[in-house]
Amino acid sequence: MTAANSIKCEWVTSPVMAKILGINRQTLLKLRRSPQSPFVEGRDFRWSGMTTNSNLQWYATQAEITFTKPLQSQGVENDVDNIEQSLTIFTDDPKLTQHFQSIDDFRVSVKRLERRLQESLLGAQKRAMAHCLVMEKLNPNNEAHVLSIKEMQDEIIDICSTTEDMIAFFESYDLHA
């Protein structure tokens, strides 16, 4: 067996990718075309030919990560790395060293919390957008769909109201600086 034969191909068709993600194929394709799409051509999907009229292929592992886990803000990660590296204070005074180390630790913690909050909000936004796309495809005259639509609407309302509550809290929060 050659090395080329042992490499597992992870490029799959849209129907297979939709099944992996647990969504409808049309929902996947609509989400890919959406301006808020988390999917990036060349990273998550590609065209098998020279034009966009050719078959669409998905890199299963990366597309699943993109769909299920919000994109991490590269800028925030770099900020954390820069803070960890740039705030090293050289002093002989142990109290000052401890003081500056506490400040450094706090800054890194705040940046990590900021990244987690951004990731959580992006994830909620993606779920809400996916629900909207799915609801567009469901027939409200079908009794089974009516319940699904209502559940998705309730979840979107929960996401929006929770986000509004968090924004109001952070806007009103005062550190007494």
8 A C-beta contact, residue 129 and residue 152? no
- Walking along the chain (177 residues) 10 residues at a time, the average pLDDT comes out as 51 91 87 86 84 81 82 43 47 77 81 84 82 80 79 85 84 67
pLDDT of residue 71: 45
Q: Copy the structure tokens of residue 8.
A: 């597992």
Supply the pTM of this predicted model.
0.42
CA distance 99 to 87: 12
CA distance 84 to 99: 15
8 A C-beta contact, residue 149 and residue 135? yes
CA–chain centroid gap for 141, Å, is 33
pLDDT of residue 52: 62
CA distance 39 to 45: 7
Domains and CATH numbers, the chain: 7-69 (1.10.1660.60)
Residue 52, CA distances (Å) to 41, 57, 150 in order: 11, 11, 36
